Amino acid sequence: MATGTRRGMMGRGELALALVAGLVLGAGLLGCRGEVETKPVQPTAPTVATPEPEPEPEPDVTEVEPDVEEPAEETAWWRGAVFYEIFVRSFHDSDGDGVGDLEGLIAKLDYLNDGDPDGGDDLGVDALWLMPINPSPSYHGYDVTDYRDVNPDYGDLETLDRLLAEAKSRGIRVIKDLVINHSSNQHPWFLSAKQGPDADKRDWYTFVDTPPEGWTQPWGPGPVWHQAGDAWYYGIFWSGMPDLNYRNPAVEAEMHDIARFWLARDVAGFRVDAVKHLFETEDGKLADADENHPFLKRFRAAIDKDFPNAVLVAEAWSDADSQARYYGDGDQFHLGFSFDTSAKIRTAVKDGVRSDLNQMLDKAARVFPDPGYEAPFLTNHDMPRVFRDLGEDPARMRLAAALLFAWQGTPFLYYGEELGMVGGEGGADENKRTPMRWNSEPDVGFTTGTPWFAVPDEAPGTDVASQLADPQSLLRLYQRLIALRRTHPALRTGEQARVDVSGGPGVAALSRALGDQRVVLVVNLAAEPSEPFDLPLTGEPRVLYAEGLTAPPTVVDGFASFTALGPRAFAFLAY
Query: Which residues form the catalytic set?
Result: 273, 315
Q: Which of these, 565, 513, 517, 519, lies nearest to 71 by C-alpha position? A: 517
Taking CA atoms, 541 is separated from 266, 455, 563, 569, in Å, by: 43, 46, 15, 18
Q: Which of these, 203, 222, 221, 223, lies nearest to 212 by C-alpha position? A: 223
Contacts of 389 (CB under 8 A, 6+ apart): 346, 350, 379, 383
Size of the site for Ca ion (CB under 5 A): 5
| Residue 97 in the binding site for Ca ion (CB under 5 A) | yes
| Residue 156 in the binding site for Ca ion (CB under 5 A) | no
- Candidates 91-99, 204-212, 233-241, 453-461: pick the segment binding Ca ion (CB under 5 A): 91-99
| Residue 93 in the binding site for Ca ion (CB under 5 A) | yes
In whole angstroms, the minimum distance from the beta carbon of 88 to Ca ion comes to 10
In whole angstroms, the minimum distance from the beta carbon of 96 to Ca ion comes to 7
Largest Cα separation within the chain, whole Å, is 80
Can you tell me the distance from the alpha carbon of 354 to that of 352, in angstroms, rounded to the nearest whole number? 7
- Candidates 85-93, 265-273, 353-361, 431-439: pick the segment binding Ca ion (CB under 5 A): 85-93
Residues 390-409 that bind Ca ion (CB under 5 A): none
In whole angstroms, the minimum distance from the beta carbon of 97 to Ca ion comes to 4
- Candidates 97-105, 129-137, 305-313, 406-414: pick the segment binding Ca ion (CB under 5 A): 97-105
Comparison of 101 and 356: residue with beta carbon closer to Ca ion: 101
- Candidates 58-66, 75-83, 87-95, 155-163: pick the segment binding Ca ion (CB under 5 A): 87-95
In whole angstroms, the minimum distance from the beta carbon of 154 to Ca ion comes to 8
In whole angstroms, the minimum distance from the beta carbon of 112 to Ca ion comes to 19
Residues 263-302 that bind Ca ion (CB under 5 A): none
Comparison of 97 and 443: residue with beta carbon closer to Ca ion: 97
Q: How deeply is 209 buried, as exposed, middle or buried, from its count of CB atoms within 10 A (0-12, 13-18, 19+)?
A: exposed
Contacts of 277 (CB under 8 A, 6+ apart): 181, 236, 243, 286, 287
- Candidates 98-106, 271-279, 299-307, 396-404: pick the segment binding Ca ion (CB under 5 A): 98-106
Contacts of 431 (CB under 8 A, 6+ apart): 384, 423, 424, 425, 456
The answer to whether 176 and 262 are in contact (CB under 8 A) is yes
Binding mask 35-74 for Ca ion (x = CB under 5 A): ----------------------------------------
In whole angstroms, the minimum distance from the beta carbon of 139 to Ca ion comes to 13
In whole angstroms, the minimum distance from the beta carbon of 108 to Ca ion comes to 13
Comparison of 47 and 450: residue with beta carbon closer to Ca ion: 450
Among 25, 99, 375, 386, binds Ca ion (CB under 5 A): 99
Closest residue by beta carbon to Ca ion: 101
| Residue 425 in the binding site for Ca ion (CB under 5 A) | no
- Candidates 99-107, 248-256, 262-270, 514-522: pick the segment binding Ca ion (CB under 5 A): 99-107
Contacts of 538 (CB under 8 A, 6+ apart): 518, 558, 575
The answer to whether 316 and 323 are in contact (CB under 8 A) is yes
Comparison of 108 and 173: residue with beta carbon closer to Ca ion: 108
In whole angstroms, the minimum distance from the beta carbon of 106 to Ca ion comes to 12
In whole angstroms, the minimum distance from the beta carbon of 101 to Ca ion comes to 4
CA 542: distance to chain centroid?
Answer: 28
Q: Which of these, 179, 151, 192, 316, lies nearest to 241 by C-alpha position? A: 179
- Candidates 93-101, 277-285, 459-467, 563-571: pick the segment binding Ca ion (CB under 5 A): 93-101
What DSSP line would sit under 457-523, residue for residue?
Answer: P--TT-SHHHHHT-TTSHHHHHHHHHHHHHH-HHHHHPEEEEE---SSTTEEEEEEEETTEEEEEEE
DSSP alpha helix (H) spans, 33-152: 102-107, 109-112
Strand order in the sheet with 542-547: 61-63, 542-547, 570-574, 517-524, 507-514, 495-499
Comparison of 96 and 137: residue with beta carbon closer to Ca ion: 96
Among 95, 257, 382, 425, binds Ca ion (CB under 5 A): 95
Comparison of 76 and 107: residue with beta carbon closer to Ca ion: 107
Taking CA atoms, 102 is separated from 123, 151, 454, in Å, by: 19, 10, 20
CA 42: distance to chain centroid?
Answer: 33
Can you tell me the distance from the alpha carbon of 186 to that of 184, in angstroms, rounded to the nearest whole number? 5
In whole angstroms, the minimum distance from the beta carbon of 89 to Ca ion comes to 9
Among 56, 85, 101, 288, binds Ca ion (CB under 5 A): 101
Can you tell me the distance from the alpha carbon of 54 to that of 547, in angstroms, rounded to the nearest whole number? 20
Residues 224-253 that bind Ca ion (CB under 5 A): none
| Residue 151 in the binding site for Ca ion (CB under 5 A) | no
Contacts of 128 (CB under 8 A, 6+ apart): 83, 84, 85, 86, 112, 167, 172, 173, 174, 175
Comparison of 99 and 131: residue with beta carbon closer to Ca ion: 99
Comparison of 103 and 531: residue with beta carbon closer to Ca ion: 103
Residues that bind Ca ion (CB under 5 A): 93, 95, 97, 99, 101
